[in-house]
Amino acid sequence: MKLILKKKPKGARIIEGFPGFGLIGTIATEFLMDHLETEKIGIVEMDEIPAMIAIHQNKVIEPISLHYNKKYNLVLIHAINIGKDLGWKVAEAISEIATQLNAKEIISLEGVGSPTAEGGRVFYYSTKGTAPKSLEGLANPLMEGIIVGVTGALLAKHVKTPIIALFAEARSNMPDSKAAAQIIKALDAYTGLKMDTKPLLDQAVVFEKKLKGLVEKGQKAQQVQEDKHLSYVG
């Protein structure tokens, strides 16, 4: 694992949202990337991740990249496709980023399954042990649950930087942008981003489509990659 940082904004808040239940982490991060002015300040190189980049608006998007929003002193961690079983390693990388930036806090955006068909609630877990006032009425403490992947590994590792994990209740494991919209609302309240959260639900549909398109392209690309191995020698 190699962490390449062009800038080291001190005391920033780190926001991570990796693909997970209902794709909450991804949808939320994409939304933030689109609505906040950011500058790419670094990347994480990891040989275990599939060799795959996206090009978006004629810019390379590396497998894991770091984006800085100066106004709110935020660092967004953006991931394309981290593959399987890399929870511990990615968590280690995030912990290292937090140390190098002397980060104020790590905010994890994650999904959890809903016991009912409605979904839409938001929960949180904070390593500080105190209930954040700003989340009152918007999110409740997560009392019971099983958390896998990057967020699970972060919470297991006893990272020194304080962590707050926000969990949006997704109705299924399909991309759920309504649940993601709820997590953005809670994040907004928690961080004081003062984003205009009104168009969020309208945009949800757009995001969902965009993501589905990316899913298809990504699957096609991986398919091609695997086919090549079988079908070509020359």
State the pairing for strand pair 64-69/13-16. Answer: unpaired
Scan residues 156-175 and list those touching its own copies (CB under 8 A). Answer: 156-158, 173
Q: Is 110 exposed, middle or buried (0-12, 13-18, 19+ CB in 10 A)?
A: buried
CB of 204 to its own copies, least distance (A): 15
Q: Does residue number 26 form part of the binding site for its own copies (CB under 8 A)?
A: yes
Scored b (16 or more CB within 10 A) or e, 81-90 reads bbeeebbebb
Q: Please give the helix or strand (H or E) that residue 4 lies within, else none.
A: strand 2-5
Tokens of 154: 């972060």
Among 30, 110, 176, 208, binds its own copies (CB under 8 A): 30
Q: Does residue number 224 form part of the binding site for its own copies (CB under 8 A)?
A: yes
Rounded to 5 degrees, φ, ψ at 111 are -110, 150
Q: Does residue number 155 form part of the binding site for its own copies (CB under 8 A)?
A: yes
Among 71, 117, 133, 143, binds its own copies (CB under 8 A): 143
Q: At what angle do helices 149-156 and 87-100 cross, to 10 degrees?
A: 60
The interface region with its own copies, picked from 67-75, 100-108, 194-202, 219-227 by CB under 8 A, is 219-227
CB of 147 to its own copies, least distance (A): 5
Q: State how far the Cα of 182 lies from the Cα of 107, in Å rounded to an integer.
A: 15
Among 28, 150, 184, 186, binds its own copies (CB under 8 A): 150
For residues 10 and 223, which CB has a smaller minimum distance to its own copies in the complex? Answer: 223
CB of 131 to its own copies, least distance (A): 10
Q: Is 120 exposed, middle or buried (0-12, 13-18, 19+ CB in 10 A)?
A: middle
Q: Does residue number 4 form part of the binding site for its own copies (CB under 8 A)?
A: yes
The interface region with its own copies, picked from 101-109, 145-153, 183-191, 196-204 by CB under 8 A, is 145-153
Scan residues 91-130 and list those touching its own copies (CB under 8 A). Answer: 91, 113, 125, 127
CB of 195 to its own copies, least distance (A): 21
Q: Does residue number 218 form part of the binding site for its own copies (CB under 8 A)?
A: yes
Rounded to 5 degrees, φ, ψ at 167 are -120, 120
Scan residues 32-91 and list those touching its own copies (CB under 8 A). Answer: 43, 45, 47, 50-58, 60, 62-63, 80-81, 83-85, 87-89, 91
Q: State how far the Cα of 50 lies from the Cα of 39, in Å rounded to an integer.
A: 24
CA angle 213, 201, 55 (to 5 degrees): 30
The interface region with its own copies, picked from 101-109, 184-192, 196-204, 211-219 by CB under 8 A, is 211-219
